[in-house]
Amino acid sequence: MAAKMEMEAAPTEQTNTSTAFTSSAFDSDLHRSSASSQGGLRALISKDKVLHSLAMDEYFKHWENKNVENETEDMRRARRKDYSSLTRQYYNLTTDIYEYAWGESLHFCRFARGESFSQAIARHEHYLGACIGIKEDMKVLDVGCGVGGPAREMVRFTGCHVTGLNISEYQLKHAEKYSRRAGLSHKLEFVQGDFMAMPFPDSSFDAVYAFEATVHAPSLEGVYKEIRRVLKPGGVVGIYEWLLTEEYDNDNLAHRRIRVDIEQAFGISNMVNISDGLAAIEAAGLELVVHRDLAVDEDRLDYAPWYWPMGGDLRYAQTIWELISTLKKTRWGVMLASVFLGLLAMLHIAPTGAKKTLDTMGKGADALVTAGRQGIFTPMYLLVARKPKL
Same domain membership, residue 290 and residue 344: no
pLDDT of residue 7: 41
DSSP structural state of residue 314: G
Question: What mean pLDDT is predicted for residues 34-40?
Answer: 68
> For all residues of the chain together, what is the average pLDDT?
88
For 65-82, the DSSP string reads T--GGG--HHHHHHHHHT
DSSP structural state of residue 151: H
pLDDT digits (tens, 9 = 90+) for 213-267: 999 999 999 999 999 999 999 999 999 999 999 999 999 999 999 999 999 999 9
pLDDT of residue 63: 86
**Range of weakest confidence among 17-26, 126-135, 311-320:** 17-26
Closest CA to 151 of 164, 170, 132, 133: 164
For 263-286, the DSSP string reads HHHTT-S---BHHHHHHHHHHTT-
Closest CA to 316 of 333, 334, 330, 336: 330
Between helices 24-31 and 169-181, what is the axis angle to 10°?
A: 60
Q: Give CA–CA dist 222/195, Å, rounded.
A: 9
Q: Give CA–CA dist 22/85, Å, rounded.
A: 7
Neighbouring residues of 317: CB distance < 8 A, sequence distance ≥ 6: 323, 326
Question: What mean pLDDT is predicted for residues 29-57?
Answer: 81
We report the CATH number of the domain holding residue 157 as 3.40.50.150
183 within some domain: yes
- The CA distances from residue 386 to 4, 221, 269, in Å, are 26, 15, 27
165 within some domain: yes
pLDDT of residue 22: 55
Question: What mean pLDDT is predicted for residues 350-377?
Answer: 91
pLDDT of residue 248: 97
Indicate if the pLDDT at residue 20 is higher than 70: no
112 within some domain: no
287-293 and 377-386 as β-strands: parallel, antiparallel, unpaired? antiparallel
Closest CA to 145 of 170, 118, 165, 128: 165
pLDDT of residue 262: 96
Phi, psi torsion values for 131, nearest 5 degrees: -60, -35
Same domain membership, residue 86 and residue 135: no
pLDDT category of residue 39 using cuts at 50, 70 and 90: low
Q: Give CA–CA dist 149/121, Å, rounded.
A: 10
Same domain membership, residue 121 and residue 268: yes
Phi, psi torsion values for 159, nearest 5 degrees: 80, 10
**Range of weakest confidence among 32-41, 46-55, 68-77:** 32-41
Q: Do 116 and 316 contact (CB within 8 A), yes or no?
A: no
Same domain membership, residue 290 and residue 199: yes
Q: Give CA–CA dist 380/390, Å, rounded.
A: 31
Indicate if the pLDDT at residue 147 is higher than 70: yes
9 within some domain: no
Q: Percentage of the chain with pLDDT > 70?
A: 91
129 within some domain: yes
Indicate if the pLDDT at residue 337 is higher than 90: no
Return the amino acid letter for 201: P
Q: Do 295 and 378 contact (CB within 8 A), yes or no?
A: yes
Q: How many CB atoms lie within 10 A of CB 239?
A: 29
**Range of weakest confidence among 148-162, 201-215, 300-314, 330-344:** 330-344
pLDDT of residue 38: 64
Same domain membership, residue 179 and residue 214: yes
pLDDT category of residue 367 using cuts at 50, 70 and 90: very high
Number of domains in the chain: 2
Closest CA to 333 of 305, 365, 307, 306: 365
Q: Would you put residue 366 in left (φ > 0), alpha (ψ -120 to 50) or beta?
A: alpha
Same domain membership, residue 122 and residue 154: yes
Q: How far is C-alpha 249 from the geometric centre of its chain's CA atoms?
A: 23
Same domain membership, residue 262 and residue 188: yes
Q: Percentage of the chain with pLDDT > 90?
A: 63
pLDDT of residue 390: 77
Q: Do 355 and 345 contact (CB within 8 A), yes or no?
A: yes
110 within some domain: no
- Higher pLDDT residue, 72 or 373? 373
Same domain membership, residue 286 and residue 161: yes
Q: How many CB atoms lie within 10 A of CB 131?
A: 17
Q: Give CA–CA dist 294/380, Å, rounded.
A: 6
Indicate if the pLDDT at residue 104 is higher than 70: yes
Indicate if the pLDDT at residue 44 is higher than 90: no
Same domain membership, residue 256 and residue 152: yes
Q: Do 312 and 335 contact (CB within 8 A), yes or no?
A: no
List, edge to edge, every strand of the sheet that includes 205-211.
188-192, 161-166, 139-143, 205-211, 231-244, 377-386, 287-293
12 within some domain: no
Same domain membership, residue 368 and residue 230: no
Q: What is the CA radius of gyration of the chain?
A: 20
Same domain membership, residue 316 and residue 281: no
Same domain membership, residue 325 and residue 216: no
pLDDT of residue 376: 98
Q: Give CA–CA dist 22/26, Å, rounded.
A: 7
5 within some domain: no
pLDDT of residue 243: 98
Indicate if the pLDDT at residue 72 is higher than 90: no
Question: What mean pLDDT is predicted for residues 91-106?
Answer: 89
Dihedral sign computed on CA atoms, order 366, 372, 375, 378: positive
Indicate if the pLDDT at residue 57 is higher than 70: yes
Look up the domain containing 147 and give its range.
Answer: 117-299+379-386
